[in-house]
Structure 1
Amino acid sequence: MKVVVTIMLRPGVLDPQGQAVQRALASLGFEEVREVRQGKVIELDLALADREEAELRVREMCERLLANTVIESYRIDLP
C-alpha cells in the first residue's frame, strides 16, 4: 500500500526557507506571491493491506521520527 505523508511547519512558526523562495520568486518578477510555506513529502510503500492498520502505523512513524510535532504538522493520505 502506498501512503503519502505531507509535513509542514505549523502556522506561526518562522519559515526561513519559504521566505527565501518567496524573495527569489519576487526577484524573478512573480510579485503576486504573498507567502511561501515550504514542507516535505514522504512516500511510503507499506507491506500492509488494512487501511486502519496502515494509518495507525504511519501515524506512529510520524510521531516518533518523521515529523517534529512541536513545530510541524502532518497529513497522511491513503489510497
Structure 2
Amino acid sequence: MFKIRVYVGYKESVLDPQAEVIQGAINRLGHGEVSDVKIGKFFDFKVSATSKEDAIQIAEKISDQLLANVNMESFKVEILEEL
C-alpha cells in the first residue's frame, strides 16, 4: 500500500485571475519581491499496489480521468510513503 499525493494546478498557458488577485494583495502588503503566484490543490489517498510504479500508474490514471481538467490543468503524482 502506498500513500499518494496528487498536485493539480493550471497549465502555464492558462490565465489564473485568483492568483493575480492574491499576488496584487501580497504586493500591496509591501512584498514587491514576490511574483509569479500560482494557485493549486492537492489530493491525498492510499493505493493498494504491488510496486511504486503500479501505484503511480493508478494515480496518474485517476488524475487524468477525474482529478484534473486536462484541458486547463496539469498534475504531478508523488508517493509520500510506503505503508
Q: Which amino acid aligns with 1:19?
A: E
Please show how residues 1-79 of structure 1 align to structure 2 within 5 Å: 1-78=2-79, 79=81
TM-score, L = length of structure 1: 0.89
CA-based RMSD of the aligned residues comes to: 1.3
> Which structure is higher in strand share?
2
The percentage of counterpart residues that share the same residue type is 30
Consecutive unaligned residues of structure 1, counting only runs of 5 or more, are none
Match of 2:74, SS state, is strand
Whole-Å Cα distance in 1 between the matches of residues 50 and 19 of structure 2?
A: 36
Match of 1:73, SS state, is strand
Displacement of 1:46 after TM fit? Answer: 2.1
Consecutive unaligned residues of structure 2, counting only runs of 5 or more, are none
Q: In terms of mean alpha carbon deviation, does 68-77 or 41-50 score higher?
A: 41-50
